[in-house]
Amino acid sequence: MIQRVRFAPSPTGSVHIGNMRVAIFNWLFARHAGGRFLLRIEDTDRERSTPEAIETLLAALRWLELDWDEEPMYQSDRANAHAEAAERLLAAGAAYREDKGGKGECVVFRMPDEDAVFHDELKGELRKKSEDMADFVIVRSNGAPVFHLANVVDDIAMKITHVLRGDDHIENTYRHVALFRALGAEPPRYAHFPMIVNRQGKPYSKRDGDAFVGDFREKGFRPDALFNYLALLGWSPGDDREKMTRAEMVEAFSLDRVKNSPAQMDLQKLTHLNGLYVAEMPAEEFRAQARAVLADCAWGRDIPEAALTPVCELMQSRTKVFSDVVDWRYFFDAMPTYDEKAVRKGLGKDGVRAALTRLIALLEQYPFDEAGIEKAIREAEREAGIREGKLNFAVRVATTGIATGAGLYETLALLGKDKTVARLRHATEHLCG
Ligand code: GLU
């Protein structure tokens, strides 16, 4: 039997990474099994499911290269099928009409008089007592089908064999299993994935940091890195691999290695992983992406290729996310923009001015290359009685304006002697404490 799974999002205008991880697990499951990955747009809420919201969703899927195998189903096209199913349930006595309070009659599904039970591929048998399950509305008084009915009728139409979704749907599944049976269909198999949570164990949201696929795309994360990170957030290949190609993930994926406990979002880990992907990019591709970021900065638009290339060569292995590129300004401007906090921390201490002044003189005595620069700094430290290595930070802040960057000696060699000396001088005259 060919396994058929689906991603069935309700478009809202932004795509949460938790939802995207559900899509990724479905996709990996289908690709691993040689099955079909289908897309159903649950767009019955016409107010939220605008054409733009649907486009945002499709764009997120395409960006992550989650390709689907058949024409997407749009739930809003299926009104007749939903109404017809409700009629059948009414005719069979599995549903009845009721006026829930003067608003007109709705259609209510009659929950069978027995415990609701289903097998979850991750959690085992899940059961709910009959007395805890109430009948529920499947068609509103205005004729609109309720989520439960539309979801099940469409899963039947799409011949879905496995419903893999978030565990916020477990309560729904008790009802859905009964609906499948009442409609004469065998329920699919189910797996409910635990949520993505924050450090406090609460559902991870926008308040905890970037939470939507679009945020990561804008910040310059790579889709392959985000895919890799989300796939391994709550699933493990059974060994300690953390960076995996798509082919490796497809090969290794299985539901029994999806963890049955909430997965904690770790932005730092994602950023680190992204850096590994960035480091591997072909140099031209890296440069083109860096250019795209620079094109959005007034100061970065007209940087000649000859100036950009060596900076890219130096910075690629240190670039974690493409938004880091906006920090490269100090390579190109005459003077850096000084970060106040870095200045206070790096240049505020006693003795720094004297040491930097001495360094300017020492730089004249050695070749201006990495080794020569290092020698000059070590000598300036010794003469000023500063512990070895401690002057580097002051030099970095004086010459780049910020606290982080690539290796200091390489950075200065690339900046060139004129810029380096002019900035050190500026620091001794205006910035040292
Ligand atoms: N549209 C629902 C959601 O996004 C359906 C989920 C499902 O059945 O997979 O939560």
pLDDT tens digit sequence for 90-134: 999 999 999 989 889 999 999 999 999 999 999 999 999 999 999
| C-alpha to C-alpha distance for 414 and 417, rounded to whole angstroms | 9
**pLDDT at residue 47, as a whole number:** 87
206 in catalytic set: yes
Give the residue-averaged pLDDT of 68-90: 97
Site to probe by mutation for ligand 1, drawn from 12, 25, 42, 152 as the one with most ligand atoms within 8 Å of Cβ, is 42
pLDDT recorded at residue 45: 87
Work out the average pLDDT over 199-221.
Answer: 95
CB-based pocket (< 6 A), ligand 1:
8-10, 42, 151, 165, 169
Percent of the chain with pLDDT over 90: 97
In this structure, the residue with its CA closest to atom 3 of ligand 1 is: 9
Q: Terminus-to-terminus CA distance in the chain, angstroms?
A: 75
> Can you tell me the mean pLDDT for 208-222?
95
Closest ligand 1 atom, CA of 164?
A: 9
What ligand 1 atom has the least distance to the C-alpha of 22?
A: 9
Of these residues, 206, 259, 341, 390, which one is catalytic? 206
H helices of 70-208, in order, are: 79-91, 147-157, 170-182
Token reading at 428: 């001794």
Helix 340-347 crosses helix 352-363 at what angle (to 10 degrees)?
Answer: 90
Mean pLDDT of 313-324: 96
Confidence (pLDDT) at 56: 97
Cα separation of 243 and 277, whole Å?
A: 9
- pLDDT higher than threshold 90 for residue 182: yes
Q: Tell me the pTM.
A: 0.92
pLDDT in tens, 41-50: 999 888 899 9
CB 19 within 8 A of CB 51: no
Ligand 1, atom 10, residue with closest C-alpha = 9
Distance (angstroms) between ligand 1 centre and the Cα of 41 equals 9
- The closest-lying atom of ligand 1 relative to the alpha carbon of residue 172 is 8
Predicted local confidence at residue 269, as pLDDT: 97
pLDDT tens column, 6-19: 999 999 999 999 99
Distance (Å, whole) CA 268 – CA 274: 10
Confidence at residue 228, expressed as pLDDT on a 0 to 100 scale: 98
- The pLDDT score that the predictor gives to residue 113 is 95
- Count helices and strands (H / E) in the chain: 18, 12
pLDDT at residue 100, as a whole number: 84
Cα(147) to centroid(ligand 1), Å? 9
Q: In this structure, which residue's CA is closest to atom 6 in ligand 1?
A: 8
Ligand 1 centre and the CA of 203: distance in Å?
17
